[in-house]
Each structure stands twice: as C-alpha cells, then as structure tokens.
Amino acid sequence: MDKTSENFNTAALQTIPGRSGFDYLVVGAGFAGSVLAERLANVLGLRVLVVDKRPHIGGNAFDRHDDAGVLIHPYGPHIFHTNSAEIFEYLGAFTRWRPYQHRVLASVDGQLLPMPINLDTVNRLYGLSLTAFEMDEWLASVAEKKEHAKTSEDVVVMKVGRDLYNKFFRGYTRKQWGLDPSELDASVTARVPTRTNRDDRYFADTFQAMPANGYTRMFERMLRHPNIKVMLNTDYREVVEVIPWQRMIYTGPIDEFFNHRYGRLPYRSLEFDHVNLPQERFQDVGTVNYPNDYAYTRITEFKHITGQRHPTTSIVYEYPRAEGDPYYPVPRPENAALYQRYQAEAERLSDVTFVGRLATYRYYNMDQVVGQALAAFKRIAKAHEARAQTPRVGSPALAD
C-alpha cells in the first residue's frame, strides 16, 4: 500500500468530530463516486465516507509514475474530451488543463493511416487524389444500401462500404469484443465518425485537454474536504454493517450489488502490457491501432498524451480479454434485458443511488459519467432540501 493509501485509510477511521457516522457511504472512488462525494460535502455540508477496493483513488483514470519516472495510465489511455462547458469548468476547479488533441493511426496494408477514416485515409490507401467535395460521392459509390442499420456491421458498410469495413473495423471489433460486428448492437461502431475532410483528430469535441498534473492529483483535490473520509483496499461489504451511514451512492457492478440473483452481466476486460523503452519517442502519435495483425488491439505512448519530457518513453499494449476486471458492457439485446431486471430492483431502493458505467451498465465516456453524477447530485440536493423542510414528529411545529 502506498503512502497515499495509508493516509486516506487512517483518516477514514475517524468520523467528523462531534458527530457520529456518515450521511453518505460512497462505493467507488472513480469519477462518479468522487464527483458526488465532493458535491455532497462542499455544497450540502454532508459527511461522506468513500470506500474503494483498489489501493488508490481515481478508478480506471488513476495515473502514476512508473519505475523510470514516466507518467502512465495503468488502466490504458484516458483522453478527456467534452462538448459541455459546465463539465469542463466543473473539473477545472480541481486542475489546470493542458490542451491536447488525440491522434490515432491504424496499421492497414503496410501503411499507418489516419483513424477515423478521412480524406487522407482513402487517398493514401487507394492511390487516389479525391478532393473534399468528391469524397462524399466516392463514399456513396462504395456504401452498401440497407434500409436500417441493425448491427455494428450494418452501420459501417452503410457508411464506407465492405472493403474499408474489412480493413479497419471487422478485425478490430472481433478482437475487442470477441464477437463479429454482425453480432453486436449498432451502437458499438456508431460512435466512430467518418470525415470527408483532412481533420485527423480522433475527437471533434469543443473541449479537449488533459489534467496538467495528472488525473490522480485532480481526484486528490476533489476529495480534499474535512467532511470526506476515504478508505482504500476495502470492500464496502466489510464496513456496511459496521460504520453508521444514512444513504449510499453505489458505482460498482449492479449485478454484484444484488449478488448476481438473475445471473452475471457480461463484460469485456483488458490486459495491459506496460513497457519502458530507452528512447525518447516510439511512435508518431499517441495511439496506433492494429485491426488485423497481432493479438493486441493498439499501442499507446503516454508522453504524447501527458506532454511530459523524459529521456525514455513508456508504452502500453492492450489485449482484450473475456475475463478480468469489468471494462465494457457487451451491447446485445439479451444483456440489456438482463440489466433491466436489475434496474427494476434498484428502483425499489429508496436509500441507494446507482451511478456510473458499471452501476448503470452503459459505456460512458469520462465526461458522460461526470455529467450523470452532477445530474444525480441535483436530484439528491432537491430531495435533501425537501426532507429538511418537512417537520419531524414531535417537533415544535407539530406541537403547535
């Protein structure tokens, strides 16, 4: 356990002076849990205990320096982007931002080509010299005509045709999900745009930046409040009956909360192979995808993302796995139906709020999780205000 973990756990054993127990038990110290803990403490003045099984805060966005001194993301690259000024400004209260626009290349037919597919991708791959005005017409000529996009395969072939689908999407998707795109919901590939210009940015959001001192420092500032206590290396079930609390925020897997009573919700997991190399630079962009070759899906070089200067560089290979920590909900109709059974159980609980990717079985970007947590806080604050205005039995108001 690192020094940060020791400090958090020691503090967590002490409740707020002069008061017993906690108003909220927050399960999980990732984006959802940390945002809600911060709002509950800072805005409502409530006492909050945050519990996490891992030895660190920040969830999958946690970052640290490796043995060589390079800042890495142990759980794979986390690139912040959003169109919401509210979310960007909210997080900006806890970090300075370093502008960063992520770029991705895909290794296809012996070339490294821009991804998402754009004008340069098509021209370089096929030896063409299309203009932006001609790109729309060319895409229309290769696109397959279907009435409705029912699967991930449909979404892509209706946009860019069968050949680009096979070169850029099919192999990557089969590695990532362990399923053919024809077996996956249309939402999986609908997220990836196709551009008719030369814009080679992976994201087109209004706000694209990285926390200047890393995500972990940002989370530390969010949780740095006298009303917030944090316990790490702790399963919430170890303390739920021991430490007094009034209400719970739960950000873990919803099926686990209900002891898998209807069965397990399927997830895809990832395995990471982190490597430090004795050279300043390994690749030209932050991430290179490998849709058709090798067992890994992509290689990310962190110094592109963080802006750190260092004589060595650290990279990570990502290998999709069927087992392991839950990362991606598998978007298939039968899984959605299973989640709805758990959601119905969750809605019957008046003292537990389910927030975040795992608790709502949704593939959310980081900004979407923050937005969901802020929206949940508004509902909680409204209910808190209503409770505060309701006289309790035996109060002077009722005695009159």
**320 cis-preceded (ω within 30 degrees of 0):** no
pTM, to two decimals: 0.90
Whether 306 and 71 have beta carbons less than 8 Å apart is answered as yes
Cβ neighbours of 185 (radius 10 Å): 18
Running along the chain, 400 residues long, what does each successive block of 10 average in pLDDT?
Answer: 48 49 97 98 97 98 98 98 98 98 98 97 98 95 91 94 96 94 86 90 97 98 98 96 96 98 97 98 98 97 98 98 94 94 97 97 96 97 86 46
Q: CA-CA distances (angstroms) from residue 71 to 38, 76, 110? A: 25, 12, 31
Strand boundaries in the chain, DSSP class E: 22-27, 48-51, 64-65, 71-72, 81-82, 97-99, 104-108, 111-115, 207-211, 228-231, 245-250, 267-277, 287-289, 298-301, 313-321, 328-329, 352-354
Fold of 3-63+214-264+330-389: Rossmann fold (3.40.50)
Q: Cα separation of 171 and 390, whole Å?
A: 59
Going across the sheet that includes 22-27, the strands are 228-231, 48-51, 22-27, 245-250, 352-354
Q: Tokens for 237?
A: 């079930």
User: Rounded to whole angstroms, how far apart are CA atoms 231 and 98?
Assistant: 30
**Residue 147: its pLDDT value, please?**
84
Residues 66, 302: Cα–Cα separation, whole Å: 11
Dihedrals φ, ψ of 354, to 5°?
-100, 120
Angle at 331 between CA 327 and CA 337, to 5 degrees: 115
In this prediction, residue 399 carries a pLDDT of: 37
pLDDT at 10: 46
Both tokens assigned to 27: 């399960």
- Residue 20: the pLDDT is 67
Burial class (CB in 10 A: 0-12, 13-18, 19+), 98: middle
Domain ranges of the chain: 3-63+214-264+330-389, 104-190
Q: The tokens of 304 are what?
A: 């592109």
pLDDT at 398: 37
**395: alpha, beta or left? (left if phi > 0; alpha if psi -120 to 50):** beta
Please list the alpha-helical segments (H only) found in 183-266.
Answer: 187-190, 215-222, 254-257
